[in-house]
Every structure is written in C-alpha cells, then in structure tokens.
Amino acid sequence: MASSTLKTVECGYSRSILKDEHISQKCICTFCDHVLRDPFQSYCGHRFCRRCIEGQVSDGKEYCCPICVVDDPDSSDIVLTTDKIYPDRAIFREMKRIPVVCTNTGCDWTGLFIEYQQHEDICEYMVVICARQGCLQNILRCKLKMHSENECHMRIITCKYCNTELVYQELEVHYQSCPKIKVQCKYCNIELLREKLLEHTAIEGGDCSSKRQPCTFHTIGCSTLVEMGKEADNNVYEIQHHTDLILSKTIELGNAMASLEERNVQTRQLCTSVEHSTADIQTIETRLHKVEADLQRHIDAEKKNHTDVNIDTDQAEKINNEVRQLNHKLVVIDRKVSTSQEIVAMLNENVDSNSETTKKLQENGEQLNEMIQLLERQCKAQDRSISLKDVALAEQDLRIHSLEMTSYNGILLWKISDFARKRRDAISGRALSIYSPYFFTDRHGYKLCARIYLNGDGMGKGNHVSLFFVVMKGEYDAILKWPFRQKVTLMWLDQSNREHVIDAFRPDPSSTSFKRPKEHMNIASGCPLFMPLNTIDTPGRQYVKDDVAFIKIIVDTTDM
C-alpha cells in the first residue's frame, strides 16, 4: 500500500472567512482541514482542494486517503490516483451561497462565497508580494503602487546627473563612478566633473595648481608623483627609497661597464690578429713580386741569346706552377684582407660606440655619486634632527610622567617598583639612594620630594632604611613663608593594612634644610633610622608585595 505521508501546504480558505462557523464537514478539505478551494472528490467520497490533491497524486504517484486509512483500510478505493479524482461541481454549487467575510485586517467586506474569490483579487487590504524581480517584499495591495514608485529598492530610476537608467539599490554604487558628478580634486581641492578630473590633473597640459610631477629621481626608477615646489621635501621623505634606487642603478652601471671593457679587450685582440694577417700578406706579395721578376729576367735573357728551345722545360713548368699557386693564394688572401678590413671597420665603429657609451656611463656614475653624497648629507641632517627630537620627546615624557605623578594637597604616595633590584643596587653601592617624584602643598605652595636609602645612610647604613624629606626650589618661593615649618609624617605602608611604619617630625627653623632653597634642592633631612632592614621581611607583613613598596609622605597644611 502506498504511503499516506501528508504535506503541510495549506491550499484551502481559512475558516475565519465564514460568518457561521458551523459549516458542514463536507465543505472542509480532508487534507488541509480548511474551506474547500476548487473542490475535488475521490472515488472513496472524500473531498479535497484541487491544489491539495494534485500536489499528492501528481507525476503518477499514489496517495492514500487519510480518512480511509483509519476508517476502512481494506477498501479498494483507499489508494487515490489521477483517474480516481474529479471536480465536485455539486458541492461547489452548494457552497456558492455561503455568507463569508474578508479576513484581511482593515477590510469590512461581506458577501457570498461565490464572490469571495473575485474580492480576493481586488481587496486593497490583501498582503501581496512586490512583483519587481529581486524585491519580494510583502505589502498591502493599496500601498503597492506607492511602494513600486517610491519605496521599492528594485524600482527603475534615472540618475539626476547623467540621465542613466538603473535600479535604485545600485544608485550609490553608480554615484561612485558617475562621470557627471562634481568631485573634489585631491590636490588643489577645487570641484569639477569627474570626467574632467584626469585631464585636470594630467602631468602634461593639466591646469591643476597643485598637480603632481615625476620625482627628481624618476630617471633611475622612482615612480612617485610629487607636488610642484615640494621636490626637496619629497627627497628628504623618500631618502631611503632613493638611496636603494641609486645603489641598484650603480650596480647595473658597473656591470655594463665591465661588459664593455670585456668587449673592448676582444676588439683589441681582433685588431692584433688583423695586423698579423696584413703582415703575412705583405710577405707573400713580396715573394710573388720577386718570382715574377726572376721569371721576367729569365725570359728576357733567353730572347737576347736567341735560344730556341734550350730552356729547361721542367724548371719552367715548375716556376709556372709556383706562380699560379702564389696567384691563387694571393686571391684568397685578398678576400681575407677584405673581410678583415670590414671586420676592423665594424670593430672600430663598435669601439667608438662603446667609448661614447662608456663616457655616458661614467657621467651617469658621477651624477649618481653626487646624488649619493647629497643623500648622505640629508641622512646626516635627518639623523641629527631625529636625535634632537628624541631628546626633546624624552624630556617631554619625563615631564608628563612627573606631572601625572604630582599631587597638590601636601600628600605624596610613592610607588617603588622593581624593589629587589633597587635594593641590590643600594647594597652594592651602584645606586645608594632614590628620589621620589616631586609634590606640592597646594597649586602655588612649597615644592617637595622624598629621598630613600634602601641600605641606610649615616648611622643607619647597613642596618636601617633611611628616609628623608627634601625642600625643592619652586616657582612661587618668593611669596611663601620661610623657613618651612609644617609637620611632616613619613610612612612605609603595610599592604596588608595591619601595621604601617610611621615617623614624624617638625622642621628645625634654624636648619638650612628648611630655608628658602638657593639651589635646585636643599640638603635632605629626616630619619636615618626610619626602619630596621630586617623589618622589611617580617612574616605576616607585606611591606613589599609583588616586588613593589609604597611610601607615603604627609605634610600638615591645616595652619597654612
């Protein structure tokens, strides 16, 4: 038996369209349980919406009636096929007179079932899908026209600048390349049409007042375009790049000169060979002339003596053969001489050309050397400038750090980081003492700081921590009362907040340590026996935690 698995697509009308909810079950689709739409009936007598049943038995598939499967599983009509279903016109005629209402929110239409489908097609409150390709937005039919004309992101519009038709959602992308939109020249900031921008900024003939031109070093490969009048600034900024280009070009010229020198050597060798060949030719020509002269003398002598055939025939033949051979050699040598002369002429031209090239390369090399020297001078100037700026930045960093640490209420909370190293430095004598950041009693008050000896000073050396108070030279000393008389409290904080080490003193008015400073700071004064060294490591106390200690200095400002 075929499977009775149901699809979940609802093809009928919602029951909410009915004025009377108590409708006969025969008007309900067996498949989707909604009011029948285009009713069909099967051989087994049950009714279905057309789309519901066709969706199940299409393409020759078999579908089991879901009611018959339960009520009459042995029936021969339980399996439905296309030849076992047909339109049910009787129930359709019966349903025509059923009173219905429109279920779309906002619509108050009522009427008969036969009229409902026509109403569905025109109901202004029906949610429909935008027909424009790519949109598919759900919208009320009454708002569809406004959506299509003004809201749909797939509507066709015309660019207001170039009159090109395009889809609305592509408008922003189009604006990025529209030739008729005014854009700002990135060099001179004037506005002009995008299609005129390339012509405006052209190196040759462009009217941009700040247009770019090739870098001074473009002849050796620099592709940077430089604003007119700022070539010197660019040379400083691109100094490393230009140096690399000059080095590469120098190496290239060196290789070219080496190649030319090798070719010149080969040319000189060929010239030497041609000279040797010419000397050999001259020797052969001399011998040939001598043989011809001897032969002529012999002929003349024979004629003079009227000797008929007394000449040695063999000797004459031998001489003639030698003359013919010499003539043949002379012809061959003449050809070789001609070829050699052509080669020599060509080599001479090459030598002249190579000489000119070598001269140009030498001139280029001299220019490159001048450029290198210029760049070296600029590098040194830049290094000096950078060094001065580094010093200034370091001073500013120190000043900013000091200002960040500065307090103006007469209280200093001093964080000593990297305590173990600083303690070792004090013991070894590398750095006996440490100064704290300075602080003030108020915005225009006394400028003060602290000084600590982590291995002691004076009578406390080697057995106590010595902590001193220092009066510094400030900007407002002229309007302050001297000598300094405020009570000073010195504290080493226990980070477990159990037992702080505290000491206090009142300044001695007769001590120079508390009179108005004449130098950068007065002599430190305080407690040389402030805290025994072994107290630092007291169990249960945290005078040093995570390699950090905290010192607190409190100046009593109540009577100021």
More confident residue, 76 or 44: 44
For residue 2, pLDDT over 60 is answered with no
List where CATH 2.60.210.10 sits in the chain.
Answer: 405-555
- Say how many C-beta atoms besides its own lie within 10 A of residue 220's C-beta: 19
Distances (CA, A) of 84 to 4, 57, 94: 16, 10, 22
- Say how many C-beta atoms besides its own lie within 10 A of residue 215's C-beta: 21
List where CATH 3.30.40.10 sits in the chain.
Answer: 15-122
What residues contact residue 322 under an 8 Å CB cut-off, 6+ apart?
291
Sign, CA dihedral 73-74-77-82, equals positive
**Angle value at C-alpha 184, between 179 and 185, nearest 5 degrees:** 100
Sign, CA dihedral 382-385-388-394, equals negative
Residue type, 383: D
pLDDT at position 372 is: 80
Pairing of strands 191-193, 212-214: unpaired
Alpha carbon 51 to its chain centroid, in Å, reads 58
For residue 306, pLDDT over 60 is answered with no
pLDDT at position 461 is: 94
Rounded average pLDDT over 121-132: 87
Task: From the options 2.60.40, 1.10.287, 1.10.3470, 1.20.5, give the CATH code of 253-388.
Answer: 1.10.287
On average, the pLDDT of the chain sits at 83
Rounded average pLDDT over 437-449: 94
pLDDT digits (tens, 9 = 90+) for 494-535: 999 989 999 999 999 999 999 999 999 999 999 999 999 999
- Rounded Cα distance between 201 and 208, Å, is 6
Fold of 405-555: 2.60.210
What residues contact residue 361 under an 8 Å CB cut-off, 6+ apart?
253, 256, 257, 260
- Say how many C-beta atoms besides its own lie within 10 A of residue 531's C-beta: 21
Residue 402 pLDDT class (50, 70, 90 cuts): low
Tokens of 47: 């009714």
Identify any residues that bridge with 28 across adjacent strands, giving them in sequence order: 35
Residue type, 411: I
Residue 3 pLDDT class (50, 70, 90 cuts): very low
> pLDDT exceeding 70 applies to what percent of the chain?
93
pLDDT at position 515 is: 96
In SS3 terms, 177-196 reads as CCCCCEEECCCCCCEEEHHH
Distances (CA, A) of 77 to 65, 87, 255: 9, 17, 99
Tokens of 466: 């010595």
pLDDT digits (tens, 9 = 90+) for 447-500: 999 999 999 999 999 999 999 999 999 999 999 999 999 999 999 999 999 899
For residue 15, pLDDT over 60 is answered with yes
- Rounded Cα distance between 395 and 400, Å, is 9
Pairing of strands 447-453, 549-555: unpaired
- Rounded Cα distance between 192 and 199, Å, is 11
Residue 411 pLDDT class (50, 70, 90 cuts): very high
Distances (CA, A) of 52 to 13, 24, 460: 12, 19, 104
Helical segments of 406-498, H only: 419-428
Tokens of 118: 């026509």
Distances (CA, A) of 301 to 225, 315, 318, 320: 93, 15, 18, 17
More confident residue, 109 or 388: 109
Q: Contact, 412 vs 553, CB < 8 A?
A: yes
Identify any residues that bridge with 214 across adjacent strands, giving them in sequence order: 225
List where CATH 1.10.287 sits in the chain.
Answer: 253-388
pLDDT at position 456 is: 95
The alpha carbons of the chain give a radius of gyration, in whole angstroms, of 56
pLDDT at position 65 is: 85
- Rounded Cα distance between 421 and 121, Å, is 89
Task: From the options 3.40.50.2300, 3.30.40.10, 3.40.470.10, 3.40.640.10, give the CATH code of 15-122.
Answer: 3.30.40.10
pLDDT digits (tens, 9 = 90+) for 259-283: 777 777 777 777 777 777 777 777 7
Measuring CA to CA, which residue among 419, 201, 177 is closest to residue 166?
A: 177
- Rounded Cα distance between 25 and 44, Å, is 15
Q: Cis ω on the peptide bond leading into residue 483 (within 30° of 0)?
A: yes
Tokens of 522: 């007065």
Residue 7 pLDDT class (50, 70, 90 cuts): very low
> pLDDT exceeding 90 applies to what percent of the chain?
28
Rounded average pLDDT over 164-189: 87
Residue with tokens 């590469």, as numbered in its chain: 248
Largest Cα span, the chain: 167
pLDDT at position 314 is: 66
For residue 310, pLDDT over 60 is answered with no
- Rounded Cα distance between 115 and 51, Å, is 20
Residue 406 pLDDT class (50, 70, 90 cuts): confident
pLDDT at position 302 is: 63
pLDDT at position 340 is: 72
Measuring CA to CA, which residue among 421, 425, 405, 412 is closest to residue 493?
A: 412
pLDDT at position 1 is: 37
For residue 173, pLDDT over 60 is answered with yes
- Rounded Cα distance between 429 and 435, Å, is 16
